[in-house]
Each structure stands twice: as structure tokens, then as C-alpha cells.
């Protein structure tokens, strides 16, 4: 495995993006919706850095299985439980790669008529982008590679690594 981001670099990037989000939503309550499972580590760290009132919820989408590329068959296996109509919503994702999963989630959330809908991603990776999606807040951008650690997995392995690595497969 090749190191991409150290624990310290991740912490600095999360802190910086949290400052920007707190500034942009100053004086407003924000609904944060994490995409499970990958975003849970990033989500927890981000929430603790925010300086604004937040409400938390989760969605879960399945598309990869034990593969290194999306199957293209996206299905939501957990939907939001709170009301988001006329509220500011920020989707928190671990990595935006093909854009297919995120596009599916955004389409689903738009049907609930939020006031605003934006995206925050730990990693914005454009190498295999198939659907154009806007990543409003990105901690780090990479061009290529299969990344693991800090919540990112390969076949449910490597999520607990404290840093991010490129997995040679």
C-alpha cells in the first residue's frame, strides 16, 4: 500500500472544510446526511469540528460489493428518517468516484424538497466519473487509484486504518 494522506493531514483537511461549512451556514441549522458505511469515520470527525447546530441522519447505498468498480446497479438500502423539506441539507460522502451512487442519492433527496442540497466529500476522485455531480466541499482531490483507510474499504477490509492508502490490486 502506498500512503496518500496521513492521519495528521486528514485532521487538518477536515478542520478546514468544517470551518468553511460553519461559515457558509452561520446562523442556520444544517441537516447532515452521511452515506454509510464508508463515510462514518469522516462524518464523526466532521460533526465534532462544526460550530453550527446540526441534525444527523444516514442513508445507505449499495453498488460495489467485492469489486473495485461500481456495478452501476445502485440501490438504497437505508433511507432518511427525518423531515428535510425546506431545510438545508449536506450529504457527507467518503469518496465521489463514478458519481453514480451520489447521483442516485441526490435524486432521492430532491424528491423531499430540501431548501438547499449540497455535497461534502472526503475524497473527490474524477478518474472514473460517469455522472457529473457537484462536490461543493472536498477535503482532498485525487486523479486515480483505489483508496482504502479512514472508512474507505475494499471488500469490507481496511476501513479501520487511520490514514488513507492507495491499494495495489
Average pLDDT per consecutive 10 residues, the chain (169 residues; last block may be shorter): 95 98 97 96 98 97 60 81 98 93 95 98 89 94 91 94 91
3-state helix, strand, coil in the chain (%, to 5): 25, 35, 45
Q: What is the pLDDT of residue 63?
A: 72
Q: Is residue 87 part of a domain?
A: yes
140 forms bridges with which residues in the sheet? 123
Does the global pTM surpass 0.85? yes
Q: What is the pLDDT of residue 69?
A: 52
Contact assessment for residue 94 and residue 123, using Cβ atoms and an 8 Å cutoff: yes
Task: Residue 39: give its domain's CATH number.
Answer: 3.40.50.2020
Q: What is the pLDDT of residue 77?
A: 87
User: Would you name the residues annotated as active-site residues?
Assistant: 97
Q: What is the pLDDT of residue 72?
A: 63
Q: Is residue 55 part of a domain?
A: yes
Torsion 50-127-114-59 (CA) sign: negative
Q: Is residue 118 part of a domain?
A: yes
Q: Is 89 helix (H, G, I), strand (E, B) or coil?
A: strand
Q: Is 153 helix (H, G, I), strand (E, B) or coil?
A: coil
Could you list the residue range(s) of the whole structural domain that residue 120 is in?
8-145
Q: Is residue 73 part of a domain?
A: yes
Q: Is residue 44 part of a domain?
A: yes
What is the rounded distance in angstroms from the CA atom of residue 156 to the CA atom of residue 113? 33
What is the rounded distance in angstroms from the CA atom of residue 147 to the CA atom of residue 149? 7
Amino acid at each position: 500500500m502506498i500512503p496518500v494522506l496521513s492521519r495528521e493531514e486528514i485532521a487538518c483537511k477536515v478542520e478546514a472544510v468544517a470551518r468553511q461549512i460553519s461559515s457558509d451556514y452561520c446562523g442556520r441549522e444544517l441537516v447532515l446526511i452521511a452515506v454509510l458505511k464508508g463515510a462514518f469515520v469522516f462524518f464523526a470527525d466532521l460533526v465534532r469540528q462544526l460550530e453550527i447546530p446540526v441534525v444527523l441522519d444516514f442513508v445507505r447505498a449499495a453498488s460495489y460489493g467485492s469489486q473495485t468498480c461500481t456495478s452501476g446497479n445502485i440501490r438504497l438500502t437505508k433511507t432518511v428518517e427525518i423531515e428535510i423539506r425546506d431545510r438545508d441539507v449536506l450529504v457527507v460522502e467518503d469518496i465521489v468516484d463514478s458519481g453514480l451512487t451520489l447521483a442516485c442519492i441526490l435524486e432521492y433527496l430532491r424528491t423531499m424538497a430540501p431548501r438547499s442540497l449540497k455535497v461534502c466529500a472526503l475524497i473527490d476522485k474524477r478518474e472514473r466519473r460517469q455522472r457529473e455531480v457537484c462536490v461543493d466541499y472536498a477535503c482532498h482531490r485525487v486523479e486515480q487509484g483505489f483508496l482504502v483507510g479512514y472508512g474507505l474499504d475494499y471488500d469490507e477490509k481496511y476501513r479501520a486504518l487511520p490514514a488513507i492508502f492507495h491499494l495495489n490490486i
